Chains A and B, each alone.
Chain A
Amino acid sequence: MVKHAKPNLSVNIGSLVLRNPVMVASGTFGYAEEFKGLLDLKKLGAIVTKTITIKPRHGNISPRTCETPAGMLNSIGLENPGIDSFIKNKLPFLKKLGIPIIVSIAAEDDPGEFYILVGQLDKINEVCAIELNISCPNMQKNKLISQDAGETSALVSAVRKLTKKCLITKLSPNVTSISDIALAAQEAGSDAVALINTLSGMSIDVYKRASKIGSWVGGLSGPAIRPIAVKMVWEAYNKIKIPIIGMGGIMDIENALEFFFAGSTAISVGTANFINPRASLEIISGLEKYMADNGILNLSNITGKLKACED
């Protein structure tokens, strides 16, 4: 058997260099310290923090989660301690890990809040990238920024002027054409797009005749949404040039490969973190093995490398 060279798992997302392409998705990994003892955090490609707002947020009323077939709904409502407390109390642990830290941020009322948040994070060396969460479905808003190409473009270009750090725009699947929004983010200067955020959903307890979620509706995640996410990555890949960070129900290496073939440069593990905290590390070793077994030296040789369906 031919012994192949060790595959290279590193990828570039704008100015950001990742040792491997497996990250953990915002909102499913807290600020990493929650996972202490459950996995070797230093092996992750990158950590995306729970979304931070300027002021602390208490979040939505209970119940906030419910299980659905092969998935779950959540309506946490961006509970977070606010940027100042994040920098003081959460960031020190993340800094010590020595792996890329991506901070997810959101505005509560006014897009201008993004400018303040970016201004503060821009000064912190260990923050390698900023993820603009313009797609959280649990803010009781009629319309999200990422549901409008014009608004997405305006926000990204304004933020672009404020920082040289890698900018990632996280997109909502609750749109008519996600590739149009992805293109708008690219044209406005985003270094990458992350997709997909959760799908709006609802589940009803028929015995109580009530929604299972306190704030009525939530965001659906988990394996149930994977085919939708894969299709959206593929659609965006065919329209944009910037890297795509693909996510949506990735549980194992096979699921991850789907996203690479569909056009992802990197992937994020989300809901799986709740069930198998080691899922992301298992995917990293699975990817190494897949590449070695197939003589693939670089991830660029699998991203978007999809064949037509043979009968």
Chain B
Amino acid sequence: MKLTNEDVQEILQLLDATPYDEMHLETKRFKLTLRRNRDSGQWTQESQVLSAPNIIRASPVQTAAPAADAATATAAARPADSQKTGWIEVRAHLPGTFYRAPKPGAPPFVEIGSHVEEDTVVCIIETMKLMNAVHAQTRGEVVELCLENAQLVEKGAVLMRIQPGAP
């Protein structure tokens, strides 16, 4: 049996006429809790599908993954491993995929030695389909690039380091 929204509506109509404020229903396949708020009289539901996915094997597909998908390693948020005095880290403000260039084949936003202003875009992080520009936030020179293009990054991961100062 699969529980539908209509089923829940019907159960609620039955429950409405009873003095009960809570109902738990659990089978191998799903778990449902209906709860009535004593003050408002409104119901809430909490449900979980418990049945395990039935995964079948697909015939293998010969597709060359685009180069940009080669990201395998995840760059963990790690403490600064560089003691080079005065270098400022540019960190990921959200998790996602790190891209050095605005599109495949385009020149990277910055290279080692590039001069950046506070508002210079140094890379983008794609999270939930949105391209988020990362700004240098420091005026200076890019001295270290910490990641490969298209690598997955966690929030807080160090993306690159900047030596502050005028060109």
Do these two chains really belong together in a complex? Answer: no
